[in-house]
Structure 1
Amino acid sequence: MVTLVLTICLHSAPEKCREERFQLGDQVTLTQCMSRSVIYVAQWSEQHPAFRVTKWRCELPKVEQGV
């Protein structure tokens, strides 16, 4: 499952930033996430006008390795 990770900051306090994570589903590949991320970011930004997206990335699940 691919995760879209947004780094967002308040417009009123640009030093206050945090990450928001969105699971994109089992059918979305890393390549699809990267190519569609601009659309997701634009939609999120429109719905959250108090925040500014400063960067974003797509992540694959971390695989834990046994010892």
Structure 2
Amino acid sequence: MALVFLVCLIASPDTCKEERFSFAFDPVSDLGCMMGAQPRMAEWTNTHPGWRVARWRCVPDGMDETRTI
């Protein structure tokens, strides 16, 4: 299971990119991913000032990253 989140620059909201985090332990259920999402996104946000998480989702690991969030 992987956490995929869309992050956007606070100063330029139209500038966005997708970040992906694969959980180290498998298998992770949908619920496990959802529970692990908040701390992971908070950690990412703390280390990337000026960015905000716009959207996020949990997907099966290896799923095509081009799919719209």
The TM-score normalised by the length of structure 2 is 0.77
User: CA separation in 2, counterparts of 1:29 and 1:50?
Assistant: 31
The TM-score normalised by the length of structure 1 is 0.79
Q: What fraction of aligned residue pairs are identical, expressed as a percent?
A: 38
Partner of 1:9: 8
- 1:21-55, CA deviations, whole angstroms, 9 ceiling, x for partnerless residues? 11112243221111221111111111111211111
The count of residues paired between Structure 1 and Structure 2 equals 61
State the 4+ residue runs in structure 1 displaced beyond 3 angstroms: none
Q: CA RMSD in A?
A: 1.3
Structure 1, unaligned stretches of length 5 or more?
Answer: 63-67
**Superposition pairs of residues 36-47 of structure 1, within 5 angstroms:** 36-47=36-47
Structure 2, unaligned stretches of length 5 or more?
Answer: 64-69
